[in-house]
Each structure stands twice: as C-alpha cells, then as structure tokens.
C-alpha cells in the first residue's frame, strides 16, 4: 500500500454510498452506517465487510474512493430484487432498499383499486397496522397518483390534503413524504411513498424515488397478480379439503391444521417462500384421496378389518391420481400427498419406501399429520395432551420411522404455537 499514488482515484463498489473521514463527507449518507478504522462508511444492505477493511486501508494511505452514483445504485437495487419472491417478501425488500438509499424512516406501497388506493405490506413503525385502510384519492398518495409524477411534501402539519386517518391507526407521525406513481409502461398501478427524512426531502430524492418506481413496476405487478391468483387457488383447495374433512365431524379442521404445522416446520428447515407455498398446497390436499373411500369404512367407529384397512390405505394413491390431473400441481406437491404415510424404516404405505426415497414434503406432512391426529378428538378417542403426543412421536423417531431433523423442527413449532 505504501507505493500507492496519493492522487489515485478508485471507483467504489455499487453498494457504497459514501464515507466520512477526518470529518469530511465524500458521497452521500445512507441509513446504514458501518465504522471501520474510525472511518464511517454509508452502505446499502448487501455490502462486504472485508472489502470495507481494504477500502479503509486505501483511504488512510491517501487514495480517494469514488462512491457509486445515485442513479447507478437505484438501478442496482432494482435489478437485484427477486420477482420470484412472495409478494410480502418482495415488498419488504423494495421498501427497505429505498429507505436505505434515501436515508428515511419508513416506506409504503399502495395499489390502485377502482376509486381508492390500498396499502400492501409496509415497512417501519406502521407495519402491520394500516394494510386494511382504504386511502381516498383526495389524499397525498391520491394526488401523486392523479398527477402522475413524483412530489415532495415537507410540511404536513399545515397540509390539508394529508390523510391523517392512517397516522391515527398506526400511532405514527408522518412529518414529510416523497412519493411517486408506480408505472408499468404507460399504466399507473399504484404509489410508493417514502416517509420521514431528517431535514426534509429534496428534488434529488424525488428523482430517485421516481426512477426506482419505474424500474420496479413490472416485478411488483407480476408478484401482486401471482399472489391474488395464489390466494384464490388456495381458497379453492381449502374448500375441497374441508368438504372432504367434513364427512367426519371430528376431522373437519384436520387438513387446515396439518397445513399450518407443515409450513411452520418448513420455515424452520429453511425452505424458500416458493417451497413453503407448495408445501402448504400439498398439506391442504394430503387427504384428498379419501373422496374415494366409502363412508362405511371412513366413518366406521370401531376397529377396521384387514381388508378395510387395505382399502383406506389406497387414499394416498387416489389422492396422487386426482392431483396429477390438476394443472398447477407439480411433482413436489403430488409426492407430499402420496408419501405422507411412508416411514423411514419402510413400514409405511403405499409403497413401503425407505429413508431418502421419501420426499421432504412426505416426511414433513407425515409427522404433522400424526401430530394433529393424536392431539385432536376422534370418534374412537379423546384429544391427547401435546406433551404425550410428542413423546409417542419421539419414540417412533428412535425406532427409525420419522426424521429426527423434522421432529426437532416440530418441537420448535409446537412450542411457539402453544405460546401464541
């Protein structure tokens, strides 16, 4: 480093907004500050600590680091947003990134619905409190949408357009706003608002938000449409599963319970949002094949004969055959329904699969299915205590029937569900 030319200028990585050295600021301040060797670095979320150490050493040796331009950073954060994420995750990423780059407290996205705007997921202190509130077109967000351009509002105390109903519900004080319409080509689909920046927002902030809104429009619309389809599809699946469960008054919540437990286990196993959604679909429909089992067997209060047990075991195969005809059901979803009665030691059905021959969905739904069946009331038994049920399942884990890893995640899930 001693041979470095002190006049040398080095271009910084895109995630570096600016830095402060010996009281002098180079570049811009962002919401994320990282201190290395008494140098304050202002960065975006996806930065490298090791690279910052190298930059700090270069700065101390007189090298000037040139932070990325604001425009390049906006393009960078918009490009790395993943449109394959579930809507809530994508929205949180969008809002956190824009808050970081603008150095603001909170952000929100509103979608246009006929005669009003409606909040989607929000980031900041208002998160989770205002999503159900319809926002009139006479509000600031409405004004931004109707005028079709980015606007700055730095004095909301005296602004009659500010819709204070949101602040009241959220117990959040909005001091200033910069916002822009969200565009997909020539169509306005909503508004992004960034809230509360010390010293107020500038025209540069407005240009930044406007550019960001144009870049994220298509990804946001794609995720929003998929989410609406997904929710509608899930409601149809749940209606089918509930209709089947209701053939027996004691199991009418079974599919919903198994889906909830399966998703909790899946989260703890690190499944992606897309995988969790498929797991939920598979768990909702895991018993759909019971539609092919006669009531005389399915609802029999006493012990089944060997022949009747053989018939009822066919529900997994029937279920797979039914699901194979559904356009949006892939192999993962199908296997969860087909394999949820398989056991690692080969003692399960319908095919007596062993170990890794059983899909992860089959393993997860299988253990969730047993947990709900034992902990719920049936025609032939009362509901058993969670602790007693977990001991029974643990004994089967030790016998090699269930995955130890999946059981550990079940324990964590049950503990959290019991506390809530």
Say which CATH number the domain at 155 has: 3.30.450.40
In a domain, 23, yes or no: yes
Q: Do 179 and 94 meet the contact criterion of CB atoms below 8 Å apart? A: no
In a domain, 166, yes or no: yes
Q: Are 36 and 147 in the same domain?
A: no
In a domain, 318, yes or no: yes
**What pLDDT was estimated at residue 92?**
76
**What pLDDT was estimated at residue 2?**
47
Produce one character per residue of 331-358: b if its CB has 16 or more CB atoms within 10 Å, e if not: ebbbbbbbbbbbbbeeebbbeebeeeeb
Instruction: Quote the domain boundaries for residue 194.
Output: 72-222
**What pLDDT was estimated at residue 252?**
62
Q: Are 63 and 78 in the same domain?
A: no
Find how far residue 322's CA is from the centre of its chain. Answer: 29
Q: Do 19 and 68 meet the contact criterion of CB atoms below 8 Å apart? A: no
Instruction: Please tell me the distance from the alpha carbon of residue 389 to that of residue 394, in angstroms, as a whole number.
Output: 9
pTM, full prediction: 0.57
| Per-residue tens of pLDDT for the chain, all 420 residues | 444 444 577 888 888 999 999 999 999 888 889 999 899 999 987 788 999 999 999 998 889 899 988 888 888 877 777 655 566 677 777 778 888 888 998 888 888 888 889 887 555 555 555 666 788 899 899 999 999 999 999 988 777 677 666 666 666 788 899 999 998 888 898 899 999 999 999 999 999 999 888 888 877 777 777 777 777 777 777 777 777 776 765 556 888 899 999 999 999 999 988 899 899 999 998 998 988 888 888 878 778 899 999 999 999 999 999 888 877 788 999 999 999 999 999 999 999 999 999 999 999 999 999 999 999 877 666 788 899 999 999 999 999 999 999 999 999 999 887 776
Q: Are 128 and 153 in the same domain?
A: yes
In a domain, 202, yes or no: yes
Kindly write down the DSSP assignment for every residue of 222-278, as one continuous string.
HHHHHHHHHHHHHHHHHHHHHHHHTTSTTSTTHHHHHHHHHHHHHHHTT--HHHHHH
**What pLDDT was estimated at residue 157?**
74
Cβ neighbours of 44 (radius 10 Å): 22
In a domain, 110, yes or no: yes
Domain count along the chain = 3
Copy the structure tokens of residue 147. 């005028």
Nearest one of 101, 141, 151, 103 to 120, comparing CA atoms = 141
Helix segments in 24-112, DSSP class H: 49-60, 70-79, 87-102
**What pLDDT was estimated at residue 197?**
93
């Amino acid at each position: 480093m001693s041979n470095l030319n002190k006049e040398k200028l080095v271009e910084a990585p895109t995630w570096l907004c600016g830095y402060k050295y010996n009281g002098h600021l180079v570049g811009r301040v962002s919401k994320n500050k990282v201190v290395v060797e008494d140098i304050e670095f202002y960065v975006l979320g996806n930065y490298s600590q090791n690279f910052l150490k190298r930059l700090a050493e270069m700065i101390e040796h007189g090298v000037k680091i040139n932070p990325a331009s604001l425009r390049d950073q906006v393009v960078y954060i918009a490009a790395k947003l993943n449109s394959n994420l579930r809507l809530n995750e994508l929205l949180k990423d969008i809002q956190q990134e824009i808050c970081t780059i603008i150095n603001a407290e909170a952000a929100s996205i509103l979608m246009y619905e006929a005669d009003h705007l409606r909040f989607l997921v929000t980031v900041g202190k208002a998160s989770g409190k205002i999503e159900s509130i319809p926002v009139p077109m006479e509000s600031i967000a409405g004004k931004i949408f109707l005028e079709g351009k980015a606007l700055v509002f730095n004095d909301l105390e005296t602004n009659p357009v500010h819709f204070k109903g949101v602040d009241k519900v959220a117990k959040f004080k909005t001091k200033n706003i910069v916002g822009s319409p969200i565009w997909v080509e020539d169509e306005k689909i909503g508004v992004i608002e960034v809230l509360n920046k010390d010293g107020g927002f500038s025209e540069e902030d407005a240009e930044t938000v406007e550019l960001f809104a144009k870049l994220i429009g298509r990804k946001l619309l794609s995720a929003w449409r998929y989410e609406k389809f997904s929710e509608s599809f899930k409601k149809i699946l749940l209606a089918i599963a509930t209709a089947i469960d209701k053939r027996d008054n004691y199991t009418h919540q079974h599919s919903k319970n198994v889906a909830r437990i399966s998703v909790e286990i899946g989260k703890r196993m690190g499944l992606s949002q897309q995988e969790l959604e498929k797991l939920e679909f598979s768990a909702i429909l895991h018993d759909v094949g019971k539609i092919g089992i006669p009531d005389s067997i399915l609802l029999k209060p006493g012990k089944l004969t060997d022949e009747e047990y053989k018939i009822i075991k066919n529900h997994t195969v029937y279920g797979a055959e039914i699901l194979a005809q559904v356009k949006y059901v892939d192999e993962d979803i199908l296997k969860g329904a087909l394999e949820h009665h398989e056991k690692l030691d080969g003692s399960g059905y319908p095919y007596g699969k062993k170990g890794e021959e059983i899909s992860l969905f089959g393993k997860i739904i299988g253990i969730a299915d047993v947990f709900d069946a034992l902990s719920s009331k049936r025609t032939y038994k009362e509901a058993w205590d969670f602790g007693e049920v977990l001991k029974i399942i643990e004994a089967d884990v030790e016998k090699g029937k269930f995955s130890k890893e999946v059981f550990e995640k079940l324990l964590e899930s049950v503990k959290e569900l019991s506390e809530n």
